[in-house]
Amino acid sequence: MLKINEHYLKLQASYLFSDIAKRVAAFQHAHPDKNIIRLGIGDVTKALPPACIAAFHRAVDEMAVDSSFRGYGPEQGYAFLREAIAQHDFQARGAEISADEIFISDGAKCDTGNIQELFSSEARVAIPDPVYPVYLDTNVMAGRTGAFADGRYQGLVYLDSTAENNYVPKLPNEPVDLIYLCFPNNPTGSTISKAELKTWVDYAKANKALILFDAAYEAFIRDESLPHSIYEIEGAREVAIEFRSYSKSAGFTGTRCAYTVIPKECAAYDSAGNKQFIHPLWNRRHCTKFNGVSYPVQRAAEAVYSDEGKAQCKALISGYLENADLIAAAVKELSFDYIGAANAPYVWIRCKRDSWEFFDMLLNKAGVVCTPGAGFGKCGQGYIRLSAFNSRENVVKALERIRQALA
């Protein structure tokens, strides 16, 4: 008799964004004439930058001719893209990352979800609350938690991110091995200073722990004193893995391209206490389970680093940030406390009632989809997240409808 992985039975309902999509689809089915504006999932709405499209087309044309056709590429990604990343995203900011420390993939969701496979099932895991659910659910699937009780999985160390700590969690007061951090933060839009991030790097070094740093939203940073990469912090190369994505920075949610950085010094330990470098392990996993991102997509991603590509991505991001500013201004005018928007495409709003109740009210009365904060963890109860990823017109319309719904 085949037995299932029973850890899956501990998972709560379905994946948050699938759950929301189902509720919205049911609402649309019941109200076919209602126009719904989606400020829920952080999915981009603007077309790919023209520089990326041109590169994409050229690469597709290369695939149409035997002499320039390409079959399997390197699993880790083509050198042209890895070199552009190392130079523009890291070396230009004084972070010493080399091309061969970069692994191209089809998404930061997959990478942040898969990376935990490399670590022992006994690893003590610290996870922020509220949190992007992928970090949490993949550790549940892997059996690193107990049952779900009172809004939390047993066996995890939760790092509360609340108004009291300005949504930047404090160091844990019990030992942990694996630490998930995400800044600018999803879902709260909060940011971390270099000094605060250094305390985490120092903690990881002192405790032989590892930080999984999700920097998928770094392109939205406007305050130049903030770190774009954890490798801007001294000592981080030994204790941190970083995840980046073109989804939000260049509109690639449907195109799929991202990357993970694993410095050569970055290590964990075997049961005899010997240091084991993570780079070769991830390389082994990547080569076994992944055949690389398609050539045209990698060419399109490379174009992000051309002069035109940089300018076009900047314009895309500025457009979304202006939406975020509009959302923040409206929320303030409606007398809600909020954080985010300044350096992130999300606005995290204290909604003064149950998150799902507010979600239902907004959907029913305003035809606007938000993300209920409770879906991101216990500390998210009483909050909702609004995403700035939509057209200006839709954001303005949604805000007007929200004003009317709350009048």
Q: Is 114 in the site for ligand MLT (CB under 6 A)?
A: no
8 Å CB contact between 159 and 126: yes
Cβ at position 268, least distance to ligand MLT in Å: 26
Q: How many residues bind ligand MLT (CB under 6 A)?
A: 6
Cβ at position 41, least distance to ligand MLT in Å: 4
By CB under 6 A, name the one of 20, 42, 77, 189 that touches ligand MLT.
42
Find out whether the peptide bond into 184 is cis, omega within 30 degrees of 0.
yes
Q: Considering beta carbons, is residue 41 or 157 the nearer one to ligand MLT?
A: 41
Residue 48 is classified by DSSP as P
Q: Is 373 in the site for ligand MLT (CB under 6 A)?
A: no
By CB under 6 A, name the one of 11, 21, 41, 334 that touches ligand MLT.
41
Judged by CB under 6 A, the stretch of 38-46, 71-79, 83-91, 97-105 that binds ligand MLT is 38-46
Q: Considering beta carbons, is residue 16 or 140 the nearer one to ligand MLT?
A: 16
> For 321-329, which contacts have Cβ atoms below 8 Å and span 24 or more sequence positions?
321/220, 321/222, 321/345, 321/388, 322/392, 323/388, 323/389, 323/390, 323/392, 323/395, 324/189, 324/388, 326/392, 326/395, 326/396, 326/399, 327/39, 327/386, 327/388, 327/395, 327/399
8 Å CB contact between 341 and 388: yes
Give the angle 30-35-39 at the CA atoms, nearest 5°. 105
Q: Considering beta carbons, is residue 97 or 258 the nearer one to ligand MLT?
A: 258
Which residue lies nearest ligand MLT, judged by its C-beta?
Answer: 42
SS3 348: strand
SS3 404: helix
Judged by CB under 6 A, the stretch of 39-47, 111-119, 220-228, 300-308 that binds ligand MLT is 39-47
Q: Can you say whether the dihedral through the CA atoms of 378, 379, 380, 381 is positive or negative? A: positive
How far is the CA of 204 from the CAs of 119, 178, 270, in angstroms?
A: 15, 9, 17
Find out whether the peptide bond into 130 is cis, omega within 30 degrees of 0.
yes
Q: How far from chain centre, in Å, is Cα 136?
A: 13
Q: Is 21 in the site for ligand MLT (CB under 6 A)?
A: no
Q: Considering beta carbons, is residue 132 or 231 the nearer one to ligand MLT?
A: 132
Cβ at position 246, least distance to ligand MLT in Å: 12
By CB under 6 A, name the one of 38, 82, 109, 279 that touches ligand MLT.
109
Q: Which of residues 164-193 bind ligand MLT (CB under 6 A)?
A: 186
Q: Considering beta carbons, is residue 99 or 185 the nearer one to ligand MLT?
A: 185
Q: Considering beta carbons, is residue 42 or 263 the nearer one to ligand MLT?
A: 42
Q: Which of residues 243-282 bind ligand MLT (CB under 6 A)?
A: none
Q: Considering beta carbons, is residue 189 or 296 the nearer one to ligand MLT?
A: 189
Residue 142 is classified by DSSP as T
What distance in Å separates the CA atoms of residue 272 and residue 124, rounded to the nearest whole number? 18
What distance in Å separates the CA atoms of residue 85 and residue 364, rounded to the nearest whole number? 44
Q: Considering beta carbons, is residue 40 or 227 the nearer one to ligand MLT?
A: 40
Where along the sequence are the contacts to ligand MLT (CB under 6 A)? 41-43, 109, 132, 186
